[in-house]
Structure 1
């Protein structure tokens, strides 16, 4: 009987301790939000790249759309929003000629080609939005449908 009483008292103390610790967690103040680090100033090449980026509300496949706008406080940087996700992008040099904007902290990459753009999540290795086309890109995509670019393999064979 005494053993049961001691066990019950011990269990009650454990429960009271757990309740007290959860209350103290609830009452604890959240950590203050750290201000975002100031963007790194861009070089001349990156600033030149940023002038070529299509901005605005850009429709994508599957009824999605992204909003891409220049950051008024950081020349050459852009804000991109896809649904409730927001990214702060900077231009990055690309060997392929594609315009590439990156949010390195969040792992997002916006790739802009002549006929479409896409938003990639590098951390998860997947596309978040594809077939995004500004009016200029849509016009170029339509032009390519009627006037396809020559096949690179055919061009290489003819030059021999």
Structure 2
């Protein structure tokens, strides 16, 4: 976690400073797009490997060297390819919609969820 601490502080500081500044108000209301563009999605350079999670669970993550929008996930003896989808928060969100798997990827921890029920399958996952 200490390796990513400066990045976290920088991101949080930027977010907080954006909340404190006020921009001049336009004369007429401006309609904002409902969908975030790819440029607003956060990009983390995270490593491949075995993620150790609570309750002794393990998730193998192999990141695609060519396409950063793909990861291969090993879970309970199965290998699945997950595709990154935009998220409203901008955080990395990879899904295998056919099999209902969702991997949320952060520098300090990750979580594997059942996308259909929203229940965590492997929580507090850390590379190690």
* TM-score for both structures, normalised by structure 2: 0.58
1:95 Cα deviation after fit: 2.1
For structure 1, the residue ranges without an aligned partner over 5 or more in a row are 1-43, 136-160
Task: Tell me, yes or no, if structure 1 residue 106 matches structure 2 residue 99.
Answer: yes
Partners of 2:47 and 2:63 within 8 A in 1: no
Considering fraction of residues, name the structure with more strand: 2
- Tell me the C-alpha RMSD between the 2 structures: 2.8
Q: Which has the higher contact order (CA 8 A, sep 6+)?
A: 2
**Secondary structure of the residue that 1:97 maps to in structure 2?**
coil
Paired residue total: 91
Considering fraction of residues, name the structure with more helix: 1
For structure 2, the residue ranges without an aligned partner over 5 or more in a row are 1-37
1:134 Cα deviation after fit: 2.1
* TM-score for both structures, normalised by structure 1: 0.47
Q: Which of 119, 122, 126 is the aligned partner of 2:115?
A: 122
Answer with 1 or 2: which has the greater Rg. 1
CA displacement, residues 108-134 of structure 1 (integer Å, 9 cap, x when unaligned)? 110123421100111243211111012
